[in-house]
Amino acid sequence: MAERGRTAVVVLVLAAALGLCVPGCDSKPAPPPEVTPPAPSEPGAPPVAVVKRCAAAPAIDGDLGDACWKAARIAGVWIDPDTGGAADPHPGVFVCYDDKNLYVALHNPEPEMTNVIADVTERDGSVWDDDSDEVFLDPTAGEKTYFQFIVNTNGVLYDGQGKDRNWDSKAVVKVKKTADGWSAEFSIPLADLGVVGSPKGQTWTANFCRNRLGRAEPQRWSDTGDDEHNYEAFGKLKME
């Protein structure tokens, strides 16, 4: 009888170790372990680009054939903030300056020009709801506030300080459309940005965005996470 008791104990111990039900146990399966959801993705490292003074100002007409643009392209890997992957085809961005203006140009390759959305026709309208380019600039590198400029393929300009659309600049912008894309050229007075004299030697924070609404593909030069107004994640422009 003692041997039989020891055998029963061994069986119970083995059953418990294997997770088997034994007399008196609860036959319901154990609940699955709780799974902690992944943390939201953080913005990537902000890009840094060098911006040089132009020998001659470009003609603001949407055509990027001006000599100044040849040496003004800024590097960077554009991302799709919805997927975290590389954006393709993404814009080429060109930036230069003189003592009066900052000049910005974007060329947007677009193999599906018939799908481009262009509904807004009024200044300071919701052009971000169209296929459009956005330029964010902060000459103070985060000490004050930033300025936002947006243009759609109709050439309609939105400009604001932070999220205040009542702020207006004297910026000039023109757009040119072709069969396989479109381009935008901005001339932005330095005085409107609070810059006195030449910006040479300064470091600004900035971002460039493309709203490719026809394909529902947002694109950004600097990864700002879920909010394109996340100025702390803007890239840097070093003025030389």
Give, for all 240 residues of the chain, the pLDDT tens digit. 444 444 444 444 444 444 444 444 444 444 434 433 334 445 678 999 999 999 999 999 999 999 999 999 999 999 999 888 999 899 999 999 999 999 999 999 999 999 999 999 999 999 999 999 999 999 999 887 899 999 999 999 999 999 999 999 999 999 999 999 999 999 999 999 999 999 999 999 999 999 999 888 999 999 999 899 999 999 999 999
Q: With beta carbons less than 8 A apart as the criterion, state whether 237 and 49 touch.
A: yes
Let me know if residue 213 belongs to a domain.
yes
- What pLDDT was estimated at residue 42? 59
Let me know if residue 130 belongs to a domain.
yes
Let me know if residue 183 belongs to a domain.
yes
Domain span holding position 227? 48-239
Let me know if residue 30 belongs to a domain.
no
- What pLDDT was estimated at residue 144? 79
Q: Give the CATH number for residue 205.
A: 2.60.40.1190
pTM of the model: 0.81
The alpha carbon dihedral of 218, 229, 141, 183 has a sign of positive
Let me know if residue 127 belongs to a domain.
yes
Residue 237 makes CB contacts below 8 A (sequence gap 6+) with: 49, 50, 51, 74, 95, 203, 204, 205, 206
Computed over its alpha carbons, how large is the radius of gyration of the chain?
A: 28
Let me know if residue 148 belongs to a domain.
yes
Let me know if residue 29 belongs to a domain.
no
Full DSSP string of 59-74: P-SS-TTSGGGGG-BP
In the chain, the number of structural domains is 1
The span from the CA of 17 to the CA of 34, in Å, is: 22
Let me know if residue 60 belongs to a domain.
yes
Alpha helices in the chain (DSSP H): 2-18
